[in-house]
Amino acid sequence: MQNETEDALKAINKRTGRNMPQAVATGALLVVIILACLFIRIDVFVFLIAVFMILGLWELRVDFATAGLHIPFITLSACSLLSILSTFYAPHPLIAMGLSIMLTMILVLIAATVRLSIGTRVPMAVATKLSRSESSARLESSYNHDNAITSKGAFSNVGVSLLTVAYIPLLACFLILPLHDARFSLINACVLVFLPALSDIGGLFFGAMFGRHKLSPRISPKKSYEGLLGSMLFAMAGAFVAFSIAFDADLWRTRWWVPIMLGILVGVVGTFGDLCASMIKRDLGIKDMGHLLKGHGGVLDRVDSILMCAPFIATVLILTLQ
């Protein structure tokens, strides 16, 4: 009986591409942490977002360093913190967000041309990352092992640094914007974080159980059209549950279509976000963006779909909950 259970678990892990017991335990812990922050105060949730973004920046710092690319981690971290907090605390959040992102791009543009290395933490993390990467993936990447530690030109560093600004601080600010509506701040926070997570679960379940038609075999062999359908259905169900709590009868009469639209948007955009992250990993020749979350790879492996969905969810919430 025990052997059968172990075999079944191994089969599930192989089909999903992750250690499911670890993934479930880590996911449950993250849910508890997020709900605890929301229960304490919405400000604590905002600082939690900032912490996760800084951890994600560190992972990107190491990931790009495996290919000899440099991003200014300290500048990006300070500017990301400034952008997130100013978007939340400023009286005019959109203006604060725009100005802080513009300032971030200017400072990062300057800092990316100066390469400073203090201590050995980054080289050690890079060595660990390369040792964990599959040799076949590394050979197929744009940067093979021999030239991985060779420094690229300043223009390459500037390019990946500006990409990082758009990927992390800019998208993270969209997680903050819907929190200004005091009536729905808690439910908006849950929708922003848990709807993409539900979409991931739906895609994982439907893909593992029914996945036959590959969505993009070259970029992510485990993604399927059946998984995409599951992502949309789970996100739609989650949206209906969330809005059944938040909406009164009057809102339901005029906003009944919002959960349907959100489910489709989150399913499609979240899957696209996963594919973008997979494309970056494949191009760099690494398996995971990081290793901080057991069973999930890195922080960015967990939040990539949340970040990509943030502008769409925020726009829908702000426009429809007026």
Which of 123, 128, 150, 161 minimizes the C-alpha distance to 67? 150
Q: What confidence score (pLDDT) does residue 52 get?
A: 92
- Residue 62 is predicted with a pLDDT of 85
DSSP-derived 3-state class of residue 296: coil
- pLDDT at position 115: 64
pLDDT of residue 12: 52
pLDDT 10s digit of each residue in the chain, 322 long?
Answer: 545 555 555 555 555 555 666 667 777 888 889 999 999 999 999 999 999 999 989 888 888 888 888 899 999 999 999 999 999 999 999 999 999 999 999 999 999 887 655 545 555 555 565 565 554 555 455 544 444 444 556 788 888 999 999 999 999 999 999 999 888 888 999 999 999 989 988 888 888 788 777 877 777 777 788 888 999 999 999 999 988 887 777 777 788 888 999 999 999 998 888 887 777 777 777 776 666 655 456 788 778 889 999 999 999 988 887 6
Token pair of 158 as six digits: 């500037």
Is 193:35 a contact under the CB 8 Å cutoff? no
In the chain, what are the domain boundaries?
A: 15-320
User: Tokens for 53?
Assistant: 């973004």
Length of the chain: 322
Q: Amino acid identity, residue 179?
A: L
Cα–Cα nearest to 279, from 201, 154, 163: 163
Q: How many Å apart are CA 239 and CA 125, to the nearest integer?
A: 39
Indicate the residue type of 234.
F
Per-residue confidence (pLDDT) for residue 244, from 0 to 100: 85
DSSP-assigned states of every residue in 92-129: SHHHHHHHHHHHHHHHHHHHTTS----SSHHHHHHHHH
Residue 45's pLDDT is 95
